[in-house]
Structure 1
Amino acid sequence: MRIAVTGAAGSLGRRVVQLLADRADVDVVAMTRRKLPAEAVPPQVEVAVADYADPPALRAALKGVDTLVFVSSDGPDARVLLHHRNVVAAVAAERVGHVAALSSVDADMASPFCYAVVNRLTEDLLLASGVPCSFARASLYIEFFQAWLTEARATGQLRLPAADGRISLVAREDVARALAALAVGEPTGRHHDITGAESVDLAGIASIAAEVWETPVAYVDIPADTYCAETAATGLDPWWLYAFSSMFASVREQRWDRVRNDYTQLTSRSPIALRDVLSAYG
């Protein structure tokens, strides 16, 4: 089986490539926007340079591919959606037999979160293409959320506009394993919610961090406009300020308060706990 992986230079895509490369029955193509150094991928992995914005390169990289692990592009939502349209068109043109696509637990046109809309539109594009699909709808990554926790470790306060929203934080490793499992299986034609083992509000998340790090960390719920003002003052790019703000709006609507056992069904593993990731971080 020949499996290609987009976004292979990123943390998630790179780990999917490693997991698939360990299998004797899989030939792996690592699709990246730019050429990688030889040591960046296992020696048996083929590297194909194919930017999401380059339809001919995408088609060339997908020739002879049986399955594509479709890891999302990044950046402003309109650009991401254009990139995803290009990938779907290339997949359909090259008659790829199966797409195991990354999506999100909040994949909903009604969501305030910009990427929730993109993820739902991408799912719809793939389904309309007629290509057999499987979707890994991931919750928010522990490693992504850890940036705020690290800051809170230093200040003692986790200042975010999440109200009483609950999140089933998931380890990136678990998302990678779920995508790899979907890629080597038959298309399921449906989505699989890849979540942590528990859903916790931010006060609970702060409490876990405080216990693991033996450092006072308290959640402080702040208004959305206060968050925007404080974050803008740090010099964060306006796009990411909007993206994070819209994400916390979706958290306040309890759109990430979901715990499912799909990950265990796919991998026969239990999800990695938040406290274990934080313990490893030191």
Structure 2
Amino acid sequence: MIIVTGATGQLGRLVVQELLTRVPADQIVAAVRTPDKAADLAEQGVQVREADYDRPETLKAAFEGAEKILLISGSEVGRRIPQHQAVIDAAKDAGAGLLAYTSVLHADTSTLPVAPEHQATEEAIRASGLTYSLLRNGWYNENYIPAAQQGAANGVIIGSARDGRISSASRADYAAAAAVVLTGDGHDNTVYELSGDTAFTMDDVAADITAVTGTQVTYQDLPAEAHTRALAEAGLPEPVVEMLVAIDAGTAEGQLAGTTGDLSRLIGRPTTALRATLTAALAD
């Protein structure tokens, strides 16, 4: 039995759809906080089980019969370490043969604000004695859809990433990699640094938006302080502002620039270019 936690999330749904192309539906469990939201998956023959990271008692039943489990990292920054520990403990109790985890690119050395909880989770997985596969996902192409919409509206996107490079890929690419690990052999105790095949700058992002929308878009690089003020004036909450500015600082240092080729090797094809993702998103 292959179990996917967070299966109604943006990544989780894509993982389940990838799995459906590889194994029978009755071998897949969508472990979700709110089962009603997975009705469409149930209609496809996927088993749907309640699994709430904050209610460890739900995880025991959810993981019954588990052979392989994908722990998709929680979305609640600041709460993820105990949530993930509950999943790790339940996976061990269930006797799972493999626990895969969606981490962050270069988790062991990253200073991005999202990294500490991933680092702690990776350490907990290793300490558990479970066989594991760490899927260190880089940035998603989809992260730039709001910037594309903004750029199309006013001709400018802002940031403080300087000329730092980013090697992003589509969510579907990362989902395909997870499905390969969950259904294939040779992934025991592995670490995959997953990223796009090529790295680009924010100037390149602006050029892609220009090409996709037909509107001339430029990237305006700001000092961190000015970037912070601009985001605050746009009405973003302070924690979000701090997170975005810190991510741009990490981008400027090259922390999202790795192009290891792990992702394209796993999925057996080139990763999806940012322009392709933006074209599809803005056409909807």
- Bin the TM-score by the shorter chain: over 0.9
Which residue of 1 is the match for residue 67 of structure 2? 66
- CA gap 1:237/1:90 in 2 versus in 1, 3 angstroms: farther
Amino acid at match of 1:79: R
- TM-score of the aligned structures, taking structure 1 as reference length: 0.93
| 2:35 counterpart SS class | coil
Partner of 1:158: 157
Is 1:68–1:98's contact at 8 Å kept on the other side of the alignment? yes
- Moved runs in structure 1, 4+ residues, more than 4 A? none
Residue 40 of structure 1 and its aligned partner are, at CA, apart by 4.7
Q: Which stretch has the larger CA shift, 162-171 or 81-90? A: 81-90
CA–CA distance in structure 1, aligned partners of residues 151 and 69 of structure 2: 38
Q: Structure 1 residues 108, 233: closer, same or farther in 2, change over 3 A?
A: farther
Distance 1:266 1:43 in 2: 26
> Structure 1 41/106 Cα, relative in aligned 2: closer, same or farther at 3 Å?
farther
Q: Which amino acid aligns with 1:225?
A: E
Quote the Cα distance in structure 1 between the aligned partners of 2:229 and 2:12: 34
**% identical equivalent positions:** 30
Give how far 1:33 is off. Answer: 1.1
- Separation in 1, partners of 2:238, 2:43: 37
CA shift at 1:42, angstroms? 4.4
Letter of the 2:261 counterpart: N
Please say if residues 228 and 241 of structure 1, whose CA atoms lie closer than 8 Å, have aligned partners that are also in contact: yes
RMSD across aligned positions (CA): 1.7
C-alpha deviation, 1:272, in angstroms? 0.9
Contact 1:193 1:263 (C-alpha < 8 Å) held by counterparts: yes
SS of corresponding position for 2:107? coil
Q: Alpha-carbon deviation of 1:126?
A: 0.7
Asked if the contact 2:177/2:267 (under 8 Å) is kept, the reply is yes
Displacement after TM superposition at 1:208 (Å):
1.8
Across the two proteins, how many residue pairs are aligned to each other?
A: 279
- Indicate conservation of the 8 Å contact 1:138/1:170, yes or no: no
Aligned AA for 1:23? R
Specify the SS of the correspondent of 1:100. strand
Structure 2: stretches of 5+ with no match in the other structure: none
Question: Is contact 2:41-2:48 (8 Å) kept?
Answer: no
CA deviations over 1:141-168 (Å, ceiling 9, x no partner): 0112221222122111110111111000
Q: Paired residue for 1:104?
A: 104
2-structure distance, mates of 1:242, 1:58: 33
One-letter code of the match for 1:270?
Answer: P
Distance in structure 1 (CA, Å) of the matches to 2:142 and 2:36: 24
**Residues 18 and 42 of structure 1 are in contact (CA less than 8 Å); yes or no, is this contact kept in structure 2?**
no
Instruction: Trace 1:112-127 onto structure 2 (pairs within 5 A).
Output: 113-127=112-126
Return 5+ residue gaps in structure 1 as ranges.
none
Give me the whole-angstrom Cα distance separating, in 2, the residues matched to 1:199 and 1:237.
30
Contact 2:28 2:47 in 1 (8 A): yes
Question: Which residue does 2:245 correspond to in 1?
Answer: 245
Separation in 2 of the partners of 1:262 and 1:44? Answer: 31
CA contact under 8 A between 2:22 and 2:183: conserved in structure 1?
no
Q: Partners of 1:128 and 1:94 in 2: how far apart?
A: 16
Normalised by the length of structure 2, the TM-score is 0.92
Give the conservation status (yes or no) of the 8 Å contact 2:263–2:271: yes
CA distance in 2 between partners of 1:20 and 1:172 (Å): 14
Check if 1:94 corresponds to 2:94: yes
Residue 61 of structure 2 corresponds to residue 50 of structure 1: no
Separation of aligned partners in 2, 1:193 and 1:216? 34
Query: What is the distance in 1 between the residues matched to 2:89 and 2:198?
Result: 37
